[in-house]
Amino acid sequence: MEELNCETVFTLPVLGGISESVVVTWIIMAVLVIASIILVRNLKVENPGKVQLALEAGLGWAQDFFEGIIGKENRRYIPYLITVLLFLAASNTIAPLIGFKPPTKDLNVTAALAIMSMCLIEYSGIHRNGMKHWIKHFAQPVPVVAPIMILEVVIRPLSLCMRLFGNMLAGFVVMELIKTVVPLLVPIPVSFYFDIFDGLLQAYVFVFLTALFMNEEME
Amino acid sequence: MLQFNFNFVLEMINLIVLFLLLRHFLIGPVTNIMEKRKALIESGLKNAQDAQDDAMKMKKEYEEALNGAKQESVAIIEKARSQAKSEYDRIVGEAGEKAGSIIESAKESVRVGRENTMKELQSQIAGLAVASAAKIVGGKAEDQDVYAQFLKEVGETDEDTDR
C-alpha cells in the first residue's frame, strides 16, 4: 500500500512538507516549458518545417475545439484551457512513460485544478454579464432554485475534481495490482488502456467540461 | 492517500506559473505565426484579386482604344477619298477650262489671221479696182474680157470670204 501514499520529498521550514506530486508537477512543468522553447525556436511564416506543422496542427485543433464551445469572442480563456489540457495529458500519462506516480492521483492536485476551474467559470460569467447579472442568475428561472444554483457553484468543481482523482487513482491501483500479480508482458496492453487511453480521455473530459460550464455561465 | 494539505495551494501556484510560461513560450508564438500566415494569405489573395481587376480594366480600355482607332481609320480613309475626289474634280475642271481657252485662242488667232487676209485682199481688190478703173478711164473700156475677168475675180473672193 505504500505506492498509494504521496510521500513527502522534503520539508521547507515555513511551508511544511513538499509532497511527491508537487515535485513531479515541477518536473512536468520544466519538461513542457523546455519542450515548447525547443519546438518554438525556428518558427517561420513561409515554408514551415514538419515539426512546426505538427505543432500548429495540434494547437490549431485545440483552439478550434475550444472556440467551438465558448465562442470566438471568448478567445482569451483558450490559452489557460490549452495549458490545463497539456498538463493533464502529461501528468496522466507520466506513469508508463517515465515512471513517476501521476500527480493527478493526489487529491491536492485535482482539487487545485478544480478550484482554478471554478474561479475561471465564475470569473468568465461575471466578466461577461456583470456582477448584478451574476448575482441575479442564481434566482432564475424561479427563486426557489436559488439554493441548488448556489450549490452548483461548488458541485461543478467538486465533480471535476473527484472524477479526475477517482479515475486516476483507480487506474493507478489496478495497474499496481496487475504489476504485482503478473509482472511480465500482461501489464503492457492494460497500461495502454488505464494509463494512456483513460489518462488522455480524462484530460479531454476535464477541459471539455470546464469550457462547457464557462459557456453555460456566460449565457 | 486522501490527505488534503498545504500542497494544494502550491499546486495552484504551479498551475498559474505553468499557464504564464506556456502562454509566453508556446501558445503566444505559435498563435502569432498562425495569425501572420493568415494575414499573409489574405493579403496575397487580395493582391491577386486587385491585379485581376486591373488587368480586366486595362483590357477594356485597350478594346475601347482599338475600337476608336478602327473608327478613326475609317473616317480618315473617308476623308482622304473625298479630298482625292474633289482634287480630281478640280484638276479635270481646270484641264477642261484650259483646253477650252486654248481652243478659244486658236479660234481667235484663226479669226485674226482671216481678218488680216481679208483686209489684205480688200486692199488688193481696192488696188485692182483702182487699176481697173484707171484702165477703163484710160482705155475707154476697150476690152469686155477685162470686166468680166474682174467681176469674176471679185465674185470669187466674195464667195471665199462668205464661206
More confident residue, A6 or A131: A131
Contact B22 A39 (CB under 8 A): no
Chain B partners within 8 Å of A26 (Cβ): 14
Average pLDDT over residues A190-213: 92
- List CB contacts (< 8 A) between A45 and chain B: 33, 36-37, 40
Local confidence band at B136 (pLDDT 50, 70, 90 cut-offs): confident
pLDDT at A164: 93
With a cut of 70, say whether residue B158 has pLDDT above it. no
The mean per-residue pLDDT over the stretch A198-204 comes to: 93
Is B27 within 8 Å of chain A by CB? yes
Give the span between the Cα atoms of A52 and A58, in whole angstroms.
Answer: 10
> What pTM was estimated for this model as a whole?
0.70
Average pLDDT over residues A137-149: 85
Taking Cα atoms as reference points, which of B48, B41, B23 lies closest to residue A45?
B41
Give residue for cell 473700156.
B141
Beta bridge partners of A11: A17
The pLDDT of residue B122: 87
Q: What's the confidence (pLDDT) of residue A142?
A: 85
- pLDDT tens column, B8-34: 888 889 999 999 999 998 888 888 888
Q: Find the closest chain A residue to B23 by CA distance.
A: A79
- Taking CB atoms and an 8 Å cutoff, what residues of chain A touch B41? none
> Is the pLDDT confidence value at B142 over 60?
no
Q: Could you report the per-residue pLDDT of A154-163, keeping only the tens digit for each?
A: 999 999 999 9
Of A45, A55, A169, the CB nearest to B36: A45
CA distance B88 to B94: 10
B129 against B99, higher pLDDT? B99
pLDDT of residue B74: 94
Q: Compare all CA atoms of chain B with the CA of A76 and give the residue at the minimum distance.
A: B23
Cα(A85)–Cα(B28) distance, rounded to whole angstroms?
A: 16
Q: Rounded mean pLDDT of chain A?
A: 87
Q: Is the pLDDT of residue B65 over 60?
A: yes
Split at pLDDT 50, 70, 90, the class of B45 is very high
Q: Is residue B159 pLDDT above 80, yes or no?
A: no
Q: Count of CB atoms within 10 A of residue A127's CB? A: 15
Res. B143: pLDDT tops 70: no
Question: What is the percent of chain B where pLDDT is above 70?
Answer: 90
Inter-chain CB proximity A40 and B25 less than 8 Å: yes
Of A96, A215, A114, A115, the closest CA to residue A165 belongs to A114
The pLDDT of residue B1 is: 54
Distance from CA of A10 to the nearest CA of B (A): 12
Asked whether residue A140 carries a pLDDT value surpassing 60, the answer given is yes
Would you place residue A14 in the very low, low, confident or very high pLDDT band (cuts 50, 70, 90)?
low
Check residue B163 and give its pLDDT.
52
- pLDDT of A58 higher than 60: yes
Q: Is B37 on the interface with A (CB under 8 A)?
A: yes
Burial A33-72 (b: 16+ CB within 10 A, else e): beebeebbeebeeeebeeebeebbeebeebbebbeebbee
Residue B140 predicted with pLDDT over 60: no
The confidence score (pLDDT) of residue B3 equals: 72
